[in-house]
Amino acid sequence: MGKIIAITNQKGGVGKTTTSVNLASSLSYLGKRVLLVDVDHQANATTYMGINRANLKYTVADIFHETVNIRDIIQKVESVAVDMIPARYELGNIENSLINHDNKDFILSNALEQVKDDYDYVIIDCPPSLGVVTINALMASDSVIIPVQCEFLALDGLTQLLNTIRMIQTKQKYNKKTLTIEGVLLTMLDTRSNIGYEVINEVKTYFKEKVFKTVIPRNVKVSVAPSFGLPVTEFSPRSKGSQSYQNLAREMVELNERA
């Protein structure tokens, strides 16, 4: 049974897309069947995975318009054994077109139900907002990974996110799910300064055992890999960034297989 995991934090630039792409590739190396879903109109995950947006016949926006079968939207990523539902700019207009939709929060959930059992993990890369698209992603999910950047104001906005998660849990009785926190992931740690370690302590005090043991360091290979359309795990497999995302995948799989 496929587990659906949303990578979410409404704060921008904390490493959601980097985590989605590299967790997806790392899970595939462990032999897991993975579907990566891009629900951000910035379409960064689509670009980071080397998919040319100009040539796309269908995108995730077609799921929200309910015009195309989800299986016709799924693409194969070239560099890794990951399937992908790509996004493009048209998703930016979706909020308006759903205003009069009676069941707008469950559109993605209904679509993913049709394919989730073809996969071990479905990873959803969320946009930096708590709008209707993110609500759809959370409603469809069994758990969330919350990337937190090891910088000043790291915990900013997390109370609002936790309140949203609680609201989702009460509504999920309609699709028989209960959203849990898979884990809080500390990202972009600068090992040369103290502030990062201070943030780690603060986050651990707040989220306790929910914090992944794996911490993602700031690593130049991670930031360069997207311009080659490759996960860092392919671009520079032995780099610290690549190794830490592979450690994260192992940690997560172990937690799930122990449960």
Ligand X SMILES: Nc1ncnc2c1ncn2[C@@H]1O[C@H](COP(=O)(O)OP(=O)(O)OP(=O)(O)O)[C@@H](O)[C@H]1O
Kindly list the residues in this chain that would bind ligand X in the complex (CB under 6 A): 12-18, 40, 42, 44, 128, 187-188, 216, 218-219, 222-223, 226, 241
Name the segment binding Mg ion (CB under 5 A); options: 24-32, 40-48, 141-149, 154-162: 40-48
* Token digits of residue 24: 């997806």
With CB atoms as reference, the residue minimizing the distance to Mg ion is 17
> Is 17 a residue that touches Mg ion (CB under 5 A)?
yes
Phi, psi for 155 (deg, rounded to 5): -90, 0
Of 8, 10, 11, 16, the one binding Mg ion by CB under 5 A: 16
Residue 188 contact among Mg ion, ligand X, none, beta carbon within 5 to 8 Å by kind: ligand X
Q: Given the complex with ligand X, which of 29 and 228 has the nearer CB atom?
A: 228
Instruction: Write down the least CB distance from residue 102 to ligand X, Å.
Output: 29
Residue 131 contact among ligand X, Mg ion, none, beta carbon within 5 to 8 Å by kind: none
Instruction: Write down the least CB distance from residue 114 to ligand X, Å.
Output: 27
- d(C-alpha 92, C-alpha 225), whole Å: 26
Whether residue 256 contacts residue 3, with contact meaning beta carbons closer than 8 Å, is answered with yes
Instruction: Name the helix (H) or strand (E) containing 71.
Output: none
Phi, psi for 37 (deg, rounded to 5): -115, 120
In DSSP notation, 109-151 reads HHHHHTTGGG-SEEEEE--SS-SHHHHHHHHH-SEEEEEEESS
- d(C-alpha 182, C-alpha 143), whole Å: 5
Whether residue 136 contacts residue 107, with contact meaning beta carbons closer than 8 Å, is answered with yes
Residue 46 contact among Mg ion, ligand X, none, beta carbon within 5 to 8 Å by kind: none
> Is 177 a residue that touches Mg ion (CB under 5 A)?
no
Residue 187 contact among ligand X, Mg ion, none, beta carbon within 5 to 8 Å by kind: ligand X
Instruction: Write down the least CB distance from residue 178 to ligand X, Å.
Output: 25
Instruction: Write down the least CB distance from residue 238 to ligand X, Å.
Output: 15
DSSP 225: G
Residue 219 contact among Mg ion, ligand X, none, beta carbon within 5 to 8 Å by kind: ligand X
Q: Exposed (0-12), middle (13-18) or buried (19+): which is 125, by Cβ within 10 Å? A: buried
Instruction: Write down the least CB distance from residue 45 to Mg ion, Å.
Output: 7
Q: Given the complex with Mg ion, which of 17 and 187 has the nearer CB atom?
A: 17
- d(C-alpha 188, C-alpha 22), whole Å: 14
- Amino acid identity at 109: S
* Token digits of residue 17: 């897309």
> Is 44 a residue that touches Mg ion (CB under 5 A)?
yes
- d(C-alpha 69, C-alpha 76), whole Å: 16
Instruction: Write down the least CB distance from residue 257 to ligand X, Å.
Output: 26
- Please report, as ranges, the residues that interact with Mg ion according to CB under 5 A: 16-17, 44
